[in-house]
Amino acid sequence: MRTFDIVIVGAGHAGAQAAIALRQRKFEGTIALIGDEPDLPYERPPLSKEYLSQDKPFERILLRPATFWAEKQVEIISSTRIVTVDAAAHRVTSATGEMIGYGTLIWATGGSPRRLTCAGHDLAGVHAVRTRADVDRLMGELPATTRVVVIGGGYIGLEAAAVLTKLGKQVTLLEALPRVLARVAGEPLSRFYEAEHRAHGVDVRLETQVECIVGEGGRVTGVRLADGEVVPGEMVIVGIGIIPAVEPLLAAGATGGNGVAVDALCHTSLPDVFAIGDCALHESAFAAGASIRLESVQNANDQAATVAKALTGVEEPYAAVPWFWSNQYDLKLQTVGLSTGHDRAVLRGDLATRSFSLVYLKDGRVIALDCVNATKDYVQGRALVAGGATIAPERLADAAVPLKEMAA
């Protein structure tokens, strides 16, 4: 049995960054980075942006070149799925039965795309957008595709719709809720993006329930809605969230449910086992102390840094301000903080100029900003979120005054 001082399971953003940060912090022990994908660690955000639009080849979205991992003596074990964890024996077992021992385990497995369960969900032409393989499959089918139905009006569905429209496809976007981005943004932002997509030719349908996927000869031909209408499409993209990949850890006795529960140092309830990234359920001061999972590169990288520090003698609780971005058409959205639970949203600027910010308040305090083509607000708003600034809504609404001048 091979044994490493640190075994990282999941070679995505969080796992790769943990290995990088450990070496940056001069950790000299052995490190294995085990992932079930065949590729070296790569950036996931471009999968629904520049990689899908073919503006960036795969080599340009690698997190680090192959030489880096060799130089840093990080053993990359790819195409290897870990299926069990034995916390007492300090070892993991792969799907092929290989056992690998660890001193410390870092669980960084992200999640798998939530799938539809209705009839036809497994027809050829129905795609998720989570891995390079998903997107390569989808791209391979694009030449024979005229009409695409996107199910889910979250960031990934909207980004895919934007790229595919630009590629000349006829896109219908189906959202079950009354507005897109309903879980993550205030209503003005949702309405803005709905209007933008419609202006670019996307048929955005809200409050629309999917009955099933229909097909012929094993291939999708459309999506049947609850009212009986069939929206035709040679391709269906499903972007309805992820299920955290934590089964092996929970089976080993770790506390959790929708993710694996971690403390402020990203330690799970199992000895010498940490969890980071999309799969880590943590209490967040930016969510009023609620236990949440954050699905963002920021969270993956910052939790990786927290663990790397903890393992090299610096116990610094995870308290990073959440941030996120999304690119659709020529719109660059940058968000800071978490808007969930806001009781007021203040608009800075004019939606019609396509450069504005929404500032979210709770009990008079700034808790988040969504900035569209407004990088200055994003950069300056960060301090307001970090400090929970109290600023009168009328002042925040005055786009002529920079946010940094409003900080107390």
The answer to whether residue 48 forms part of the interface with ligand FAD (CB under 6 A) is yes
Least distance to ligand FAD from the beta carbon of 243, Å? Answer: 11
Best CA proximity match to 147, nearest among 232, 213, 214: 232
Residue 14 as a binder of ligand FAD (CB under 6 A): the answer is yes
CB of 8 to ligand FAD, least distance (A): 9
Closer to ligand FAD by CB, 246 or 384: give it. Answer: 246
> Which residues have CB under 8 Å from 146's CB, separation 6+?
169, 170, 234
Among residues 79 and 390, whose Cβ is nearest to ligand FAD?
79
How far is Cα 45 from Cα 53, in angstroms, rounded to an integer? 12
Q: Which of 176-184, 195-203, 216-224, 293-301 is the region at the interface with ligand FAD (rule: CB under 6 A)?
A: 293-301
- Shortest approach of ligand FAD to residue 325 CB, angstroms? 5
Task: Mark residues 96-135: x for contact with ligand FAD by CB under 6 A, - for none.
Answer: ------------xxx------------------xx-----
- State the binding string over 299-318 for ligand FAD (x if CB under 6 A, else -): -x------------------
Tell me how crowded residue 230 is: count the other CB atoms within 10 A of its CB: 13
244 contacts ligand FAD (rule: CB under 6 A): no
Contact code string over 324-363 relative to ligand FAD, x by CB under 6 A: xxx-------------------------------------
Number of residues that bind ligand FAD (CB under 6 A): 35
Does residue 37 bind ligand FAD (CB under 6 A)? yes
Counting contacts by CB under 6 A, is residue 249 touching ligand FAD? Answer: no
Task: Report the site for ligand FAD in 49-78 (rule: CB under 6 A).
Answer: none
Which are the contacts of 132, defined by CB distance < 8 A and separation ≥ 6?
A: 37, 39, 42, 47, 51, 58
Burial of 193 (0-12, 13-18, 19+ CB in 10 A): buried
Is the separation of the CB atoms in 2 and 100 below 8 Å?
yes
Count Cβ atoms below 10 Å from residue 122 Cβ, excluding itself: 12
AA letter at 240: I
Residue 82 CB, shortest distance to ligand FAD, in Å, is: 4
Compute CA distances 276 → 10, 260, 283, 310, 397, whole Å: 10, 9, 13, 13, 37
Tell me which of 4, 6, 7, 12 binds ligand FAD, using CB under 6 A.
Answer: 12
Radius of gyration of the chain from Cα atoms? 22
With the C-alpha atoms ordered 364, 368, 373, 379, is the resulting torsion angle positive or negative?
positive
Sheet holding 170-174, edge to edge: 126-127, 235-238, 147-151, 170-174, 203-205
Contact set with ligand FAD (CB under 6 A): 9-15, 34-37, 44-45, 47-48, 81-82, 108-110, 129-130, 156, 245, 248, 277-278, 295-298, 300, 324-326
